[in-house]
Every structure is written in C-alpha cells, then in structure tokens.
Amino acid sequence: MKRLNKAIAEAGITSRRKADNLIKSGRVKVNGVVVKELGTLVTSKDDIEVSGVLIEKQLKKYFLLNKPRRIISAVKDDRRRKTVIDLIDPEDRDVRLFPVGRLDYQSTGLIIITNDGELANKLAHPSREVEKEYRVVINQIINKKTLLTLNKGVIIDENFLAIAKKIRFIKHDNDKKQTTLEMVITEGRNHQVRKVIKAIGGEVVDLMRIRYDFLTTKSLAFGKYRELKPHEIKKLMR
C-alpha cells in the first residue's frame, strides 16, 4: 500500500504537495468515490481519477540522453522545434515521458528522461543537492584573481549568491582568447552557469553537462540515449 499523493506523483501527474491540494479540493476519486482525506492509502488494484481522468498504471521508464545543441528540454514546443522527447524512439514513447530538469537550447549534455514523477521530484528537491558538472568555454582569458572570485561566489538574479561546489581550470586557448573550466553546482537556478559567467564580464561560448550525479557521458554520443540500469535507478532514488 502507498499514500494517495505518492501514487499520483509516481504517475507523473504532479508533485506530492500539489497532489495534496488536488485531494483537498475534491478533484481526486478512488474507485469512483471522491476522497478528501490526506494520508489515504491505496493499492495497485485501486482505480484513481484526477480531475476526471483515470491514472494509467504505467511501467516506469528511465533513460539517460546526451542532448545536442538546438534541442528543447521539454515535452513539446509551441514553435515546433525539436524536443528531447523527439529523440526517443517511438517504441520507447508508449508512456508519458518528460525531462528531469532543463538544459537550454544551445547547451549540450546529460539529461534524464522518465515518466516517474517521484524520481523527478526527488532529484529536483534542494535538500538533495544533486551535483551537476559542466564543461564551460568562456570568451576571455580567466586569470587567477577572477577564478578566485568565482570560487567565492558571485551575485546573480539581483540577490542570490551563487557558489559553485567546485571549479577546476582546464586550459587557456590564447589564439581564440578563451578559457575552459569545469564547474560543479548543486542549485537548479535557470541559466545559472551562464549568469555566473556574465557576472564576471564574460560570455559562455560552449556549455556541456558532463555529469549528472554519478552518471556521465561515457560512450554516449550526442543525440543518443540509453536505458538506465536497475542499480542506477536505485542509486538515484536513494
């Protein structure tokens, strides 16, 4: 048995907290009966309706995708641009898949695709402090003083102190006047790496997520994906 809000979250409908609001507002039925009591327990045999729609008892799917440039990290795009879901083979899209987190249009690298709302909520929760590692190419030569500033943290979004968990210098390209760094962050702010670089007067030339928690891009070409292994899923859910 499991709590009703968890069953709704696992179906990818919404988060547990928002599921509680749906329950309290009378928009959830169990076996045809409206349930408003939080903490209600259900089993796999129960039929659950949310806003009149029956939750499908779906097989959970988990994929790791290496996103190329000019791909949208969304289920669909109103401008009809290609999305990460479009990169998944049709036979693997027999459930409602969605990306966990985002990578902007020009960024590349790892993103998890699943239909497991509970996992998505766990990975997104600030308390988890899930590490995301990026390789970033900047349009300027970064000196030691600027690198120290980055390590101490910079203000973005007017009043947020963004401090990377780790920043590692990789190389200078004096001909192109560029610097390559590797940066590990745990916050999930929108365009955070780009904003951090902008705060020191630079601009990102190339941005690639090379690690998501313990998962890496090893043997995974751009535009390709693989199914996560059971032990990897278990580790992500820990």
Nearest-angstrom CA–CA distance, 85 and 64:
12
| CA geometry: angle 113, 114, 119, nearest 5 deg | 115
Q: Of 104, 116, 175, 213, which residue is the catalytic one?
A: 104
Phi, psi for residue 173 in degrees, rounded to 5: -120, 95
Nearest-angstrom CA–CA distance, 215 and 229:
11
Nearest-angstrom CA–CA distance, 202 and 223:
28
| CA geometry: angle 226, 230, 232, nearest 5 deg | 70
Residues in Cβ contact with 126 at an 8 Å cutoff, skipping those fewer than 6 apart = 187, 188
104 is catalytic: yes
Catalytic positions are 104
